[in-house]
Structure 1
Amino acid sequence: MPKFKPLREDQHFLLPPTLDEFVPAGHLARVVSGIVDEMDTSDIESKYSRLGQNTYHPKIMLKLLFYGYAIGVRSGRKIASACETDTAFMYLAQMYGPDFRTINDFRKNHSAEIGACFTQVVRVCESMGMVKVGTICIDGSKLKASASAKRTKDEEGYRAWLARVEAEIEKILSEAEETDRAEDEEYGEKRGDELPRELGEKERLREKIKEAMRGLKEGGKVNSTDPDACFMRERHGVIRPAYNCQLAVAEGQVIVAAEVTTCAVDSGELAPVLERAEENLDQEVETVIADAGYGSYDNYQYLDEKGKEAYIPDRDFERARRRSPQEEGDRYHKDNFRYRRRENLYICPEGKALPFYKRRVSDEGKVARKQLIYRGVECSGCPKRKLCTKQKARTIVRELREELKEDMRERLLSEEGKRIYRKRMHTVEPPFGHLKHNLGYKTFLLRTVEKVRAEFKLMCIGYNLTKIWRCMPAEGTA
């Protein structure tokens, strides 16, 4: 009896396999295909002309991109190669073979429409009962831009670079003229008019530098490769050209809003991300959870006016919570002075009053802030004055909107607040972890904020489609 099954490399089939046989039942590619088939792609289709050669249907291109981003294959070349070697991609491409330029051009030319596709996928998740709309968590993470830090310069740096490039062009032209004279003497009237290849490269570089200089703002810097990318500090302290990616995630870990900004600070992104989430869901959100990066008076006021229940600590919340009032150095910290709203005064740790003293407008920072000043009236004879202040009397500065922060801290310190805030790490952090660590999406392929925004939406579409696939019943169990 033979040890092995026979080799069948020359096996012929009576009938060729159908596309349906390319992937097994319950495969992710089937879910992607089924959802895209039901999508409204009229906005994309309307951009095509009836003139010229027939092109690939937009639904085929979307299927390839969505599936590729869902499994970590996003390069146009890799997707094109997979259409020839991977049965799942063959199934989605319907045995067509778009080349990498076609795939890349489609992704680049339809960035706005990809955002609409993201909204449609969110609605599918909602219709399947995967989204609990009441609560959303918001978070941000930095993803590296497709740009080198060395190509980010200010005006002075670009002028010096331009001078070097122009000197090199002058040198190449001078050498070319010298060569022409020598060839004229040797060849007479024969042709020899081809420009040196290095000259064309240097001239293209010169134009790119000039374009970057035109995009410079006064006192700013710009990257010649991706002019929209900004220097941002990432989690491990590395500073490099990047984009700030924002997610709003509903309970159930479904991404309901995805935005990209060139601002490194998260606090200014809460309102637009929340509004986009409600727009995508076509419903109002009741509760918003976010980390201390979003803690600001502006955000607290915005959420209060919108009637949202929020759980967002300020930047000093953890430090204040852990501070021990028993230690002499911390005993006289502002957080240990109790404010009495009815009497509009502070009580110090020694039981003395600090009544209202005056109003002022602080011009520190980028935005003027209205503040209230409270000043002690019994400090001169206090034996603890040197531990409390170096001035004649202790003063407390209170922001005009301080009550919003105090109410937020009180809410977070309640048992119910602690329980709700714990949801954040189990809701919004897993999507970023999956995208960055499981799929390796730590750097964008595309450049400029509009295209980067579309690529981030593709990442999130792929993530949500995978969530849909995992929520669907296995074949034969429905």
Structure 2
Amino acid sequence: MKSKAVFKTYNQDQLSLLPPSYDELVPKNHPVRIVNHIIDNVDISTLESTYKGGGTSSYHPRMLLKVIVYAYLRNLYSSRKIEQALYENIHFMWLSGQSKPDHNTINDFRGKRLQGHLKKIFHQVVLLLSEQGVLSLKDIFVDGTKIEANANRYTFVWGKSIKTSKERIKKQLKELWYYVEKVYKEEQHIPNTPDFQALDADKIEATINQINEALQGKEIDKKVKQKLSYAKRNWPKNMAKYQQQEAILKQRNSYSKTDTDATFMRMKDDYMQNGQLKPAYNVQASTNNQYLTNYTLAQTTADTTTLKDHINNRIENYKQKPETLTADAGYGSEENYTDLEDKEITAYVKYNYFHKEQQDKKKGKSNPFHPDELYYNQQTDTYYCPMGQAMTYIGSYQKKTKNGFSQELHRYQAQNCDGCPLRSLCHKSKHNRIIERNYNLIRLKSKARKLLLSQQGIAKRKQRCWDVEAVFGNIKQNMNFKRFMLRGIGKVNVEIGLVAMAHNLKKYSLTL
């Protein structure tokens, strides 16, 4: 005989003697309690001071901050979804004290109120975590990752295209003036030649007017007349547009029209796996024990030029410098090595070809024609090529990088390469071989190599892989944060700060 199934009591109309407290429904070590406790212990007085007195009451900024940070911890980034959670999710109801700000209030607080304030709050949280002993501010691991901007991928403006268009207008203006000179070639009086250098919208308009005046009363070719008419209607306004675009670009090579602060960058994790260019921001991060200790945003694609500003920002916020810094070869430049040396920070930073150099050394490979392999007589300041010919010093010069960093390069030239049996292997120049040596960079690379190959350096390099890169993996894969919700570098700075704080608090909650 089949036994009768027994079900637990289910009665939606059953009343409780006393209504349950939300506090009873939130587990003791739940992440929402961690967020609540940490945010309660940070100073937000500067944020509170931005609220004006009078009028209707405002939602408390501490409550809004708790709600948004916890939302990011739960992978909720849309202000509408956060609003929905405040009505439906017990944890959000408990955290907000049953306050129910709408999505406009949430978005306004996140995008406007937190600008200029969140970074200070983030660093207070990091200091609290440091006091708990879960991270150290003495040793940092630095790397960068590109996160897609909230911008249309096809509304792009390219610096090279602007330059080409400006040069085309300049060339066509000159051609029109050559036509004027051709018309006046048989006359003694030739109008004064306009200035074609540093053309702007006003100068172009003045030049076109000058050409029209010069051709007034003359028999003009029909095509030239049409071109002048087109030029007067379009070229001044086009040049004004190009000037405005260049002001937005500054030192960048591109930007998106829907987020002018975003630069087009080649993304590694492209959906089509073909490395498409997309509007993005270059996020620079410092980590320790997989906790984010600092973040900055860069609008350039290369990591090399971002390290100096990133370290300065870190020192400014913590009022102290780290003792050691570990980074990959993307940061190994003379400027970065010099800056870290000046700041007395022990730098475990690889340079280009460091790994290849070590692999070739293990395999016993060497290139006898490489400048580093040539014999150098320090007393006579002379290099010797593989054939034993002296390469004497012929002078030095200063070279500036895009960042304005000055480099000193020394040049040495062989006396006679004609008839040398090794010439085809040695160099491809039609003249005698010249080599350039940057002695400061050589010294800095030697210092970096010594640190990288030390026992501590090897340990640091191994740790970097699972420290900072694991943080990016968590943000992009586990938190599913691959594209910013907000536009403009100010708002994006707030958003990456919220992501960083959520990452830290979620990791901290797992240790309790």
Residues 92-128 of structure 1: CA deviation (Å, up to 9, x unaligned): 1111211111111110122211112111111111111
Partner residue of 1:21? 24
Once superposed, what is the RMSD of the aligned Cα atoms?
3.0
Quote the Cα distance in structure 1 between the aligned partners of 2:508 and 2:327: 25
Partner residue of 2:447? 407
One-letter code aligned to 1:15: L
Quote the Cα distance in structure 2 between the aligned partners of 1:342 and 1:306: 32
Structure 2 counterparts to residues 282-293 of structure 1, below 5 A = 282-293=319-330
Quote the Cα distance in structure 2 between the aligned partners of 1:381 and 1:97: 86
Partner residue of 1:373? 411
Alignment CA distance shift 1:356-1:243 (3 Å): same
**Secondary structure of residue in 1 paired with 2:436:** strand
Quote the Cα distance in structure 1 between the aligned partners of 2:285 and 2:17: 52
Any conservation in 1 of the 2:305–2:403 contact (CA below 8 Å)?
no
Q: Establish whether residue 228 from structure 1 lines up as the match of residue 261 from structure 2.
A: yes
Partner residue of 1:43? 46
Partner residue of 2:92? 89
Alignment CA distance shift 1:406-1:100 (3 Å): same
Partner residue of 1:189? none
**Secondary structure of residue in 2 paired with 1:129:** coil
Partner residue of 1:124? 128
**Secondary structure of residue in 1 paired with 2:138:** strand
Give the CA deviation at 1:341. Answer: 5.5
Alignment CA distance shift 1:344-1:365 (3 Å): farther
Quote the Cα distance in structure 1 between the aligned partners of 2:384 and 2:507: 53
One-letter code aligned to 2:267: E
Quote the Cα distance in structure 2 between the aligned partners of 1:94 and 1:436: 31
Alignment CA distance shift 1:341-1:427 (3 Å): farther
One-letter code aligned to 2:105: T
Quote the Cα distance in structure 2 between the aligned partners of 1:377 and 1:411: 38
Any conservation in 2 of the 1:126–1:281 contact (CA below 8 Å)?
no
Give the CA deviation at 1:344. Answer: 4.1
Alignment CA distance shift 1:239-1:25 (3 Å): same
Q: Establish whether residue 300 from structure 1 lines up as the match of residue 337 from structure 2.
A: yes
Give the CA deviation at 1:465. Answer: 1.1
One-letter code aligned to 1:246: Q
**Secondary structure of residue in 2 paired with 1:444:** coil
Quote the Cα distance in structure 2 between the aligned partners of 1:272 and 1:70: 28
Alignment CA distance shift 1:38-1:275 (3 Å): same
Quote the Cα distance in structure 2 between the aligned partners of 1:406 and 1:109: 48
Alignment CA distance shift 1:307-1:366 (3 Å): closer
One-letter code aligned to 2:504: N
Partner residue of 1:310? 347
Residues 10-48 of structure 1: CA deviation (Å, up to 9, x unaligned): 232111122311311100000101111122121222222
Partner residue of 1:470? 510
Partner residue of 2:245? 216
Any conservation in 1 of the 2:254–2:264 contact (CA below 8 Å)?
no
Alignment CA distance shift 1:387-1:416 (3 Å): same
Query: Which of these residues, 482, 488, 493, is aligned with residue 442 of structure 1?
Result: 482
Quote the Cα distance in structure 1 between the aligned partners of 2:445 and 2:48: 50
Any conservation in 2 of the 1:215–1:222 contact (CA below 8 Å)?
no
**Secondary structure of residue in 1 paired with 2:137:** strand
Quote the Cα distance in structure 1 between the aligned partners of 2:74 and 2:136: 26
One-letter code aligned to 2:460: I
Partner residue of 2:71? 68
Give the CA deviation at 1:152. Answer: 1.8
Partner residue of 1:395? 434
Partner residue of 1:424? 464
Give the CA deviation at 1:364. Answer: 8.4
Structure 2 counterparts to residues 4-403 of structure 1, below 5 A = 4-110=7-113, 111-153=115-157, 215-217=244-246, 221-235=254-268, 237-250=275-288, 252-323=289-360, 330-337=367-374, 344-346=381-383, 348=385, 354-362=391-399, 369-376=407-414, 383-391=421-429, 393-402=432-441, 403=443
Residues 133-163 of structure 1: CA deviation (Å, up to 9, x unaligned): 3211111111100001212236989xx9xxx
Q: Establish whether residue 452 from structure 1 lines up as the match of residue 508 from structure 2.
A: no
Number of aligned residues: 419
**Secondary structure of residue in 2 paired with 1:9:** coil
Q: TM-score, normalised by structure 1?
A: 0.79
Quote the Cα distance in structure 1 between the aligned partners of 2:497 and 2:79: 17
Residues 285-316 of structure 1: CA deviation (Å, up to 9, x unaligned): 11111111111111111111111111112223
Q: TM-score, normalised by structure 2?
A: 0.74
Alignment CA distance shift 1:212-1:443 (3 Å): farther
**301-310 vs 48-57, greater mean Cα deviation:** 48-57
Partner residue of 1:166? none
**Secondary structure of residue in 2 paired with 1:49:** coil
Quote the Cα distance in structure 2 between the aligned partners of 1:415 and 1:393: 44
One-letter code aligned to 1:370: E
Query: What residue ranges of structure 1 are gaps of 5+ in the alignment?
Result: 161-208, 473-478
Alignment CA distance shift 1:348-1:77 (3 Å): same
Any conservation in 2 of the 1:212–1:227 contact (CA below 8 Å)?
no
One-letter code aligned to 2:266: R
Quote the Cα distance in structure 1 between the aligned partners of 2:21 and 2:420: 91
Alignment CA distance shift 1:226-1:90 (3 Å): same
Alignment CA distance shift 1:277-1:471 (3 Å): farther
Give the CA deviation at 1:437. Answer: 1.1
Residues 195-251 of structure 1: CA deviation (Å, up to 9, x unaligned): xxxxxxxxxxxxxx9x9978511686542211111111222532111011110112x
Alignment CA distance shift 1:352-1:81 (3 Å): same
Query: What residue ranges of structure 2 are gaps of 5+ in the alignment?
Result: 166-237, 270-274
Quote the Cα distance in structure 2 between the aligned partners of 1:318 and 1:379: 33
Any conservation in 2 of the 1:360–1:371 contact (CA below 8 Å)?
yes
Residues 149-207 of structure 1: CA deviation (Å, up to 9, x unaligned): 212236989xx9xxxxxxxxxxxxxxxxxxxxxxxxxxxxxxxxxxxxxxxxxxxxxxx
**Secondary structure of residue in 1 paired with 2:53:** coil
Give the CA deviation at 1:407. Answer: 2.2
Give the CA deviation at 1:418. Answer: 2.2
Residues 417-465 of structure 1: CA deviation (Å, up to 9, x unaligned): 2222222112211111111111111100000001001100010011111
Give the CA deviation at 1:276. Answer: 2.6
**Secondary structure of residue in 1 paired with 2:397:** strand
Quote the Cα distance in structure 2 between the aligned partners of 1:258 and 1:18: 39
Give the CA deviation at 1:412. Answer: 2.1
Alignment CA distance shift 1:342-1:117 (3 Å): farther
